[in-house]
C-alpha cells in the first residue's frame, strides 16, 4: 500500500543502513520497523528524523510513558493509523496498563468533543487565560 | 465573536445556573469561564458535558497533570484556540513547569511530523503492531 | 488491525455484556458491531458512550436521518473510516436515497472547499455574523 | 487580518463586480460579505465558487436548512471560523431554532468523540457495513 | 471497502459513461480510476468534479508538477489515502524525481511541525504579515 | 493571546538571543518575528527548529517559491493562522504573483474537495497506484 518501497537491508544504501544499524543498537533489537524502511530512500531525511526522535523521546522532564501517551493523542487526532499502532505498542512496552489506556481514550474523547463545542460556538477566550506582557509585535528589540 | 450569547448569571435560566453553581462549588472559585456560559443556552448539553468532564478528569489511573497535557495535545492538533488557552492555564495551575511545557511542545511537534511522514508515504503497519485474535466481524457471538 | 481485542460475548466481562445486551434490545437485533466490542475492555467508557449516544441520537428536534447525515459529515471531515461506514449504513437504514446521498456529498465537498478558501485567505468575519451583547469575560456575574 | 485585500466595489475589477451584482440580485440584499470580496482578486475563482455554491445549495433533495446544518458540521470539524459564523447566520435566517442548534451541537460533539475512539482503537469495519459487488480495480471495463 | 458501488462501464448510466469517455479521451488512456467510478452514481457531481479538475489542473501560472505536489501536500494533511496514492502516481508520471519527492516530504514534515508549535503557543500574528487597507466589513460599497 | 510570553531581546536568555542573532544574520534583517520569540522560553527547541528549517527550506531540488507554496498548502489544511500569514508573506517576498496565488488557492480548494469525496465514499485505491515489491513486514532483514 505504500507509495515508496519499504527497503530491506539489502536494498537500502550504505547511509540508510548505518541508520538501521543505529536503530538496532539503540533499541537493542534486530527489528527495524517499516516507518524507517520507508524513509530510507532519502537517507538525509531518515537520519534527521531518527536523530530528532531520540532527543525528543529521550530522558527529560516528562516520564517516557507520558510522552508515548501524548504521542498517541496527537496521532489519533491526526488520524495516523501507522503511528497509532506503533506508539500504542511502544506505550504497552513501557508499561501502559489497560486501565491507563482506557483513561487515555476517555481523555482523548472528552477533549475532542469540547474542542468541537468551543469551536462550533466560537467561544471567546477569557482574559485570564492569556499571558500578559506579551511584548513585541513589530517593535524594536 | 461567539455565535451564541455568553450568558451572565442573570441571563441564564435556572437549570443553567444550577450547573454554574456546581462548577463554582466543585472548583472552589467564583469564576465560571466562557465555555460553560456559551453552552448555557442548552442546559441539557451544558449539564451532560460538565458531568462527563468531572468523571473523565477526576481521580483515576493517570496523574491529573498528565491528563491536562493529553488534553492540550488533542486541542493543539484540533486547532482549538479556546481549549489550548483554558487547558494550558489548567496545566499551569496543576504545576506544569516551563521545562515540562517545553517537552510537551517538542513531543507534539515530533508526533505531528512523523504522522505526516507515515501518512505521506502510506507506510503499511508492521504485523507485530497489531493485536491478534481480534474476534468477531459478522460472527455469531 | 485493531490495537485492542474485539471482544466476543464470551470474552467480554459481565459489565460489558450487559451493555451488549442493551444494544441488542434497543436496536432489536442480535448483532453488536465492532465499535462496541472494541470499547468493551473498558466497560465504564463503553457504557458512558452508549448511554450518551442514545440521548443524542434519540427523538428530539431534528429528524433522525438528518442527524445521521450530520454524523456522516463530521466523520468524513475527521477522516474516520469506521464511522463513515457505520453511519452511512445507518443513514441507508433510515431511508437515505441515492439522490440525498449525492447531495450530502456535494454539500460536504462544497463546504470543505470554501473552508479552505476562507482559511487560506484569512477572511475577517463580517460584523453582522457575530452575536452582540456577548456578556462576561472576566466580569462579575 | 486577511492575507489579501477585501475589495470594495470601487477596488474590484469589472469581472468581480459582475459577480458581486449577481450575489446582490440572487440574495435580494445590498450586502456582499467579505468572503466574496476576498476572492475578488481572482475573478475566475470567485465566479466558479459562486456558481457552484448556487447549484449545491439550491433546491434539491435535501431541505435548505438541513444543508446549512451539514455545512456547519463540516466547518466546525475543519475549524473554519469564518464559515462557522457565516453559515450559522444563514441557518438562523432559514429558521434554525435554539433547540435545533443545541441538537446540532450535541450531534457534532458525539460524532467527533466516537470518531476519535474508533480511530484510537483502529476498529476494523464490520463486513456488513461495506457495499458488495464493488467491481473494477484495474480490470477492463 | 467503498460505501458505494465502483461502477463498471456496463453498470454506469449514459451520463456517467459520457464522462468516463471524456476522461479516456483527455487522458489518452483506456483506464478510468476508481474515484470517478465511485462518483458515477451521481452523474451531475461526477461531471462537475471532472470539469472543475480540468480547469484547475490545466495550463496556467504554475507548473503542472508543482500543482501535483501542492495536491499531495493537501492530501497528506487531510489524511486522504486514496488521493495520496493517485496524486503521487500523477506526480511521478509528470517527472517527480526521488530527490524532489524527498524534499516534498521534508517540507510537509517541517510545515506540519511549525503549524503545531505556532498553534500550541497561540503566537500572535506580526503586524507586518497582514495586508493593510482591508476595506469593507459591514460598510457601504 | 499567546499562552507564553513573546520574549523581547532583553527578556530572552543568552542561548535564545544567539539564535535571534543568527536569524538576523541569515535573513539579513533586524526583525525577528513572533514565532521565534514565542519559542525562546525553550532555547533548545528554538535552536532545533531554526536549524532544521534552514536545512529544509534551503537550496535543493525544489524551487524556494515552490517550497513556500507547499508550506502554505499544509498550513491552510492544518488551519494555522500564524503560518498562513508568515508563509504568504514569505512567498510574496520570493516573487509569488497574484496569478500564482490565485492558482495556489484553486489547487488547494480542489484537492480538499476531492479529498473529502474520496474519503466520504471510501474509494479503494487502484492497484496501479501502489508500489510493488514493498518488501519487509516482520521479515528478517
Q: What percent of chain E has pLDDT over 90?
A: 91
Supply the pLDDT for residue A136. Answer: 55
- For residue F42, is pLDDT > 50? yes
What's the pLDDT band for A133 if we cut at 50, 70, 90?
Answer: low
Q: Which of E99, E116, E124 sits opposite A137 (nearest CB)?
A: E124
**Could you tell me which chain C residue has the CA closest to the CA of F114?**
C109
Residues 6+ apart with CB under 8 A from D85: A122, B3, C125, C126, C129, C130
- For residue A139, is pLDDT > 70? no
Q: Which of F101, F116, F127 sits opposite D138 (nearest CB)?
A: F127
* Interchain contact, F2 vs A130, CB within 8 Å: yes
Question: Under a CB-based contact definition with an 8 Å cutoff, are residues F57 and E110 in contact?
Answer: yes
**Nearest alpha carbon to residue C32 among D122, D112, B140:** B140
Minimal Cα–Cα distance from F14 to chain D, Å? 33
Residues 6+ apart with CB under 8 A from B37: B6, B7, B8, B12, B20, C135, C136
Residues 6+ apart with CB under 8 A from D40: D7, D12, D13, D16, D19, D20, D46
Interface subset of B 3-22, CB within 8 angstroms of A: 3-4, 6
Interface membership of F126 toward D (CB under 8 Å): yes
Q: What percent of chain B has pLDDT over 90?
A: 91
What's the pLDDT band for E1 if we cut at 50, 70, 90?
Answer: confident
Distance CA D114, CA A108 (A): 10
Spell out which residues of chain D touch residue B138, defining contact as CB-CB under 8 Å. 126-128
- For residue E134, is pLDDT > 90? no
- For residue F138, is pLDDT > 70? no
- Using the structure block, give the residue that is written with the C-alpha cell 453559515: D87
- For residue A134, is pLDDT > 50? no
Reduced to 3 states (helix: H, G, I; strand: E, B; else coil), residue F96 is coil
Supply the pLDDT for residue A92. Answer: 97
Superfamily of domain D60-121: AhpD-like (1.20.1290.10)
Interface membership of F65 toward E (CB under 8 Å): no
Distance CA F133, CA D66 (A): 48
* Interchain contact, D109 vs B44, CB within 8 Å: no
Average pLDDT over residues D26-36: 97
Angle at which helix E81-93 crosses helix F98-121, to 10 degrees, equals 130
- For residue F64, is pLDDT > 50? yes
Spell out which residues of chain A touch residue F4, defining contact as CB-CB under 8 Å. 131
Are D1-58 and D60-121 equal in CATH topology?
A: yes
Supply the pLDDT for residue A130. Answer: 86
Interface membership of A80 toward C (CB under 8 Å): no
* CATH level 2 (architecture), domain E61-123: Up-down Bundle (1.20)
For chain B, the domains span 1-58, 60-123
What's the average pLDDT block by block, 10 residues per block, for chain C (141 residues)?
93 97 97 98 97 97 98 98 98 97 98 98 94 56 49
* Interchain contact, B141 vs C11, CB within 8 Å: no
* Interchain contact, F45 vs B85, CB within 8 Å: no
Interface membership of A66 toward E (CB under 8 Å): no
Instruction: Report chain F's mean pLDDT, rounded to a whole number.
Output: 94
C-alpha cell at F69: 507554496
Spell out which residues of chain E touch residue D78, defining contact as CB-CB under 8 Å. none
Spell out which residues of chain D touch residue B137, defining contact as CB-CB under 8 Å. 124, 126-127
Sign of CA dihedral D54, D55, D56, D62: positive
Three-class SS string for chain A? Answer: CCCCCCCCCCCCCHHHHHHHHHHHHHHCCCCCCHHHHHHCCCHHHHHHHHHHHHHHHCCCCCCHHHHHHHHHHHHHHHCCHHHHHHHHHHHHHCCCCHHHHHHHHHHHHHHHHHHHHHHHHCCCCCHHHCCCCCCCCCCCC
**Could you tell me which chain E residue has the CA closest to the CA of B106?**
E117
| Chains touching chain C, criterion 3+ CB pairs below 8 Å | A, B, D, E, F
What is the CATH code of the structural domain delimited by D1-58? 1.20.1290.10
Beta strands, E only, C9-131: none
pLDDT in tens, A98-117: 999 999 999 999 999 999 99
Instruction: Report chain E's mean pLDDT, rounded to a whole number.
Output: 94
**Could you tell me which chain B residue has the CA closest to the CA of C126?**
B1
pLDDT in tens, D9-21: 999 999 999 999 9
Interface membership of A1 toward C (CB under 8 Å): no
Supply the pLDDT for residue C96. Answer: 98
What is the per-residue burial (b if ≥16 Cβ within 10 Å, else e) of B36-57? bbbbbbbbebbbbbbebbeebb
Minimal Cα–Cα distance from C109 to chain D, Å? 9
* CATH level 2 (architecture), domain A60-122: Up-down Bundle (1.20)
| Chains touching chain A, criterion 3+ CB pairs below 8 Å | B, C, D, E, F
**Nearest alpha carbon to residue A113 among F52, E124, B78:** B78
Distance CA C33, CA C17 (A): 13
Reduced to 3 states (helix: H, G, I; strand: E, B; else coil), residue D130 is coil
Interface membership of A36 toward B (CB under 8 Å): no
Interface membership of B81 toward A (CB under 8 Å): yes
What's the average pLDDT block by block, 10 residues per block, for chain B (141 residues)?
93 97 97 98 97 97 98 98 98 97 98 98 95 56 50
Distance CA E16, CA E41 (A): 8
What is the CATH code of the structural domain delimited by F60-123? 1.20.1290.10
- Number of A to F CB contacts under 8 A, please give it: 74
- Using the structure block, give the residue that is written with the C-alpha cell 457601504: E140
pLDDT in tens, A24-52: 999 999 999 999 999 999 999 999 999 99
When scoring E43, E135, E137 by the number of chain D Cβ atoms within 10 A, the one with the most, hence best to mutate, is: E135
* Interchain contact, C84 vs F119, CB within 8 Å: yes
Spell out which residues of chain C touch residue F119, defining contact as CB-CB under 8 Å. 76, 79, 81, 84
Spell out which residues of chain C touch residue E4, defining contact as CB-CB under 8 Å. 101
- For residue E107, is pLDDT > 80? yes
Supply the pLDDT for residue A131. Answer: 77
Interface membership of C118 toward F (CB under 8 Å): no
Supply the pLDDT for residue C140. Answer: 42
Interface subset of E 88-117, CB within 8 angstroms of B: 105, 108-110, 112-117
- For residue A126, is pLDDT > 90? yes
Amino acid at each position: 500500500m505504500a507509495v515508496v518501497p519499504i527497503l530491506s537491508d539489502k536494498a537500502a544504501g550504505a547511509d540508510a543502513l548505518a541508520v538501521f544499524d543505529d536503530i538496532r543498537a539503540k533499541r537493542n533489537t534486530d527489528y527495524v520497523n517499516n516507518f524507517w524502511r520507508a524513509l530510507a530512500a532519502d537517507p538525509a531525511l531518515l537520519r534527521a528524523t531518527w536523530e530528532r526522535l531520540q532527543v525528543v523521546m529521550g530522558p527529560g522532564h516528562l516520564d517516557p510513558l507520558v510522552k508515548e501517551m501524548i504521542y498517541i493523542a496527537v496521532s489519533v487526532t491526526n488520524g495516523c493509523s501507522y503511528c497509532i499502532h506503533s506508539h500504542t505498542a511502544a506505550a504497552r512496552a513501557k508499561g501502559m496498563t489497560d486501565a491507563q489506556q482506557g483513561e487515555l481514550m476517555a481523555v482523548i474523547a472528552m477533549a475532542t468533543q469540547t474542542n468541537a463545542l468551543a469551536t462550533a460556538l466560537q467561544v471567546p477566550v477569557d482574559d485570564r487565560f492569556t499571558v500578559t506582557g506579551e511584548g513585541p509585535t513589530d517593535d524594536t528589540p
